[in-house]
């Protein structure tokens, strides 16, 4: 859902007269931390779907630590950009997902398949299903939806109002 939010936001931003050049006004180091944290999470998800083999089993053995590391990178990247209003939405979304993970044994429960009685914070589990005719069927959490909205809002804010950030660096 995050890729769709980025693409849609870029298109809408261009239609609204925004400039892609304004995206360079973000703190580059923090954006790299955010992207690295997100890529680590995608990597973990991808590895979990792979066939069993020893190297994947070793990586998945440290799944919890890798997830925590990815969230630390993401939170640092967000905190370094708190001056941007829309980044607060990303902080809330990642906070919701982190709370669901931490309270449920470092796995976000899929409430479409698991009984609600065994889950802490059931509203934060995988509860929103996108299926056909949507081109990329998937199950999302409330936090994922908030993050997607935050990504959209962040790109819109920067593309259309990027001048607020000139000269500000860490």
In a domain, 85, yes or no: no
**Is residue 74 packed enough to be buried (19+ CB in 10 Å), middle (13-18) or exposed (0-12)?**
buried
- What is the number of structural domains in the chain? 1
In a domain, 67, yes or no: yes
Contact (CB, 8 A) for 155 and 9: yes
Q: Which of 124, 27, 39, 43 lies closest to 76 in space, CA to CA?
A: 27
In a domain, 43, yes or no: yes
Tell me the pTM. Answer: 0.84
In a domain, 166, yes or no: no
**Backbone dihedral region of 98: left (phi > 0), alpha (psi from -120 to 50 degrees) or beta?**
alpha
Contact (CB, 8 A) for 110 and 81: no
In a domain, 5, yes or no: no
| Residue 133 per-residue DSSP state | T
pLDDT for the residue numbered 162: 55
pLDDT for the residue numbered 167: 43
Mean pLDDT for back-to-back runs of 10 residues, the chain (170 residues): 88 92 81 90 80 72 89 93 91 93 85 76 82 80 93 92 49
Contact (CB, 8 A) for 80 and 170: yes
Residue 46 structural domain:
27-76
In a domain, 19, yes or no: no
In a domain, 56, yes or no: yes
Sequence-ordered list of residues with C-beta below 8 angstroms from that of 20, at least 6 positions apart, any chain: 10, 13, 14, 159
């Amino acid at each position: 859902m995050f890729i769709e939010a980025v693409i849609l936001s870029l298109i809408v931003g261009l239609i609204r007269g925004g400039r892609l050049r304004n995206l360079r006004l973000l703190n580059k180091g923090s954006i790299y931390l955010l992207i690295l944290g997100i890529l680590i999470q995608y990597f973990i998800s991808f590895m979990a779907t792979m066939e069993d083999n020893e190297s994947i089993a070793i990586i998945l053995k440290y799944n919890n630590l890798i997830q925590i590391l990815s969230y630390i990178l993401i939170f640092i990247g967000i905190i370094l950009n708190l001056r941007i209003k829309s980044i607060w939405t990303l902080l809330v979304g990642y906070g919701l997902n982190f709370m669901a993970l931490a309270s449920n044994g470092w796995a976000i429960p899929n409430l479409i398949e698991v009984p609600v009685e065994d889950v802490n914070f059931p509203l934060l589990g995988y509860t929103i299903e996108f299926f056909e005719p949507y081109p990329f069927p998937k199950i999302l959490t409330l936090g994922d939806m908030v993050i997607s909205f935050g990504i959209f809002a962040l790109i819109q804010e920067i593309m259309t109002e990027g001048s607020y950030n000139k000269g500000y660096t860490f």
